[in-house]
Structure 1
Amino acid sequence: MSDLLSLADVEAARAVLTGVVKTTPLEHSMPLSRALGVPAWLKCENQQRAGSYKVRGAYHRISRLSDAERARGVVAASAGNHAQGVALAAGMLGAKATVFMPQNAPLPKVTATKGYGAAIEYAGTTVDDSLRAARAFAEETGAILIHPFDHPDVIAGQGTVGLEILEQCPDVGTIITAVGGGGLISGVAVAAKALKPDVRIIGVQAAGAAAYPVSLAAGTPVTLTESATIADGIAVMRPGDLTFAHVSELVDDMVTVTDEDLSAALLMLLERHKMVVEPAGGAAVAALLTGKVQVTPPVVAILSGGNIDPMLLMRVIEHGLASAGRFLRLSVQTEDQPGELARLLTQIAEHRANIVDVLHSRHNPRLSFGEVEVQLSVETRGPDHSTALIGALRGSGYAVTLLSGTP
């Protein structure tokens, strides 16, 4: 297709970005390699300036504006990573930046964007709402819209990730990455397919915000009516026209992952690699861990961002532990007698499970007279340990209900 970018476009972007962005490391992943049975690597864009790959496209786009255009200022819409990339790039290039963010944007991303010097405006509850407000602001003020994904200069900038991967792992067989609007995967595919035509390019979307599968099936970009996912960085309601053309032509597969899959991936990255990654940033690893994708080895998974709200990280860790069978929430009904709670807790302790919290209630209308309900959060060593614990409690006569977790 004539409107697709070329390798020369991405190489030109790299010349502009040299000395501006980091060449991020490619780290071998033993846990993924063992799970897949093939060599697996992590491209650590979570360690990029401003915490994600987004600064690549933002800087390249703003750098190509004329002095007169930069003097008018730039405007962007983002849930956080593009916001930080634009704010940082605009500051380096001497342009005033205004960023529209959803009202529920993660506070650390808002704070960081302000810290890079951008003015923040809130609009709606989705990136698409903010993008409409940013377009209106651009029309009213003359500021230049820096689209988060659907612009050739942005795609070319993101494509420099692909150039680095091919240099760091020349025999790469599969590159897999998270997909929101499609800027990163489009640029990576342009570069990688030009240098190694047989490489497989696989995209991953959050199941609660998966606009690409339905769009690819329809043959045209489709707008979702709703989205619900912890991966705010890829919660985009509609593919871009330009990115859709690239994905349609160059991407080999597009899969989805659940929030539970994302939580499990983030927990693995935190525990085994000591890496803090946001839910969107871990989507590629989540897809590999689920076994949903066929890969040609070696495989490189892009960790696209590391900007996670610490409060969300706490919840994600709990979800990840629950998905791995290492965190249970239980409801236990027992007799309302002195010492009964101590007996229950002692039995749990004897099974070497760690009690996180306890809620003791006599006032649930479901309870019979003389009964109490004890709700507990318990850490275990894994599914077998969880199953043994629940079995032992039931064997002792307790009525046990599993509220969350996987025994």
Structure 2
Amino acid sequence: MVEEVAEDLREEGLGAPSAVVTCVGGGGLLCGILEGMHRVGWRHVPVVAMETRGAASFRAAWHSGQPVTIADITSVAITLGAKKVCQRVVDYIREHPLISELVSDRVAVQACFQFADDHRMLVEPSCGAALSAIYSGLASRLYHEGRLEASPRRPLVAVVCGGSAATLPQLEDWKRVADGKDEPE
């Protein structure tokens, strides 16, 4: 996937992205993205790893420096539902610029609806967590704070994944559950 994105950017006359945004659960997708980024020479490109608050096993590992088993998965983003991340993704914390961010289920589900409106495609809340970096203004804040470097020749790349379980009735159910939670945005 990363090689294809790199080729597409080259064809458009663009450089490496300013950042890559993805969701993270157990670390498999994130590790694959990072391996691809290293193969194409993007070792310097930050990755914004997005999780929901109720499935924050990467954030727990981020703080402890090792895989940590979290007590419970309480998020509607069940495909992020790994209670513990793999060791390799923890190793990458020391090897690659990574930014760990958390969002509420409500924000993740809102991003799913916004993406559906914009692109006529349904995605699951795990993907909504990643997309919320764009829709909630988080990415803009990271650029403004200087944590990401803005450049017209270096776009932000968002990994859009996880739609097989998404139906309109399921999205409505996720919204109902997320709206009933009392958690910070």
> What is the TM-score when the length of structure 2 is the normalising length?
0.78
| 2:8 is aligned with 1:168 | yes
| 2:117 is aligned with 1:271 | yes
Q: Which has the higher contact order (CA 8 A, sep 6+)?
A: 2
Counterpart mapping for 1:169-248 below 5 A: 169-170=9-10, 171=15, 172-194=17-39, 195-248=41-94
CA contact (8 A) 2:109 2:171 kept: no
- Structure 2 gaps of 5+ residues are 143-147, 180-185
Letter in 2 for 1:303: V
Q: Secondary structure at the match of 2:100?
A: strand
Corresponding residue of 2:165:
308
Number of positions where the alignment pairs a residue of Structure 1 with one of Structure 2: 163
Task: Quote the offset at 1:308 in angstroms.
Answer: 2.3
Distance 1:284 1:246 in 2: 19
Letter in 2 for 1:268: Q
Task: Quote the offset at 1:212 in angstroms.
Answer: 1.4
CA contact (8 A) 1:211 1:237 kept: yes
CA contact (8 A) 1:265 1:282 kept: yes
Distance 1:218 1:164 in 2: 34
Distance 1:309 1:285 in 2: 15
Distance 2:44 2:89 in 1: 21
Distance 1:166 1:267 in 2: 28
Distance 1:248 1:304, change over 3 A: farther
- Provide the identity percentage: 24
Distance 1:305 1:248 in 2: 27
Counterpart mapping for 1:105-120 below 5 A: none
Task: Quote the offset at 1:249 in angstroms.
Answer: 1.9
- Structure 1 gaps of 5+ residues are 1-160, 323-407
Q: Secondary structure at the match of 2:68?
A: coil
Task: Quote the offset at 1:197 in angstroms.
Answer: 3.2
Task: Quote the offset at 1:199 in angstroms.
Answer: 1.5
CA contact (8 A) 2:52 2:129 kept: yes
Task: Quote the offset at 1:283 in angstroms.
Answer: 1.7
Letter in 2 for 1:169: L
> Going by fraction, where is strand more abundant, 1 or 2?
1
> What is the TM-score when the length of structure 1 is the normalising length?
0.37
Structure 1 residues 188-197 or 210-219, which shifts more? Answer: 188-197
Letter in 1 for 2:25: G
CA contact (8 A) 1:200 1:296 kept: no
Letter in 2 for 1:240: C
1:66-103 Cα deviation digits (max 9, x unpaired): xxxxxxxxxxxxxxxxxxxxxxxxxxxxxxxxxxxxxx
**Structure (1 or 2) with the larger CA radius of gyration:** 1
Distance 2:125 2:8 in 1: 25
Task: Quote the offset at 1:291 in angstroms.
Answer: 2.9
RMSD: 2.4
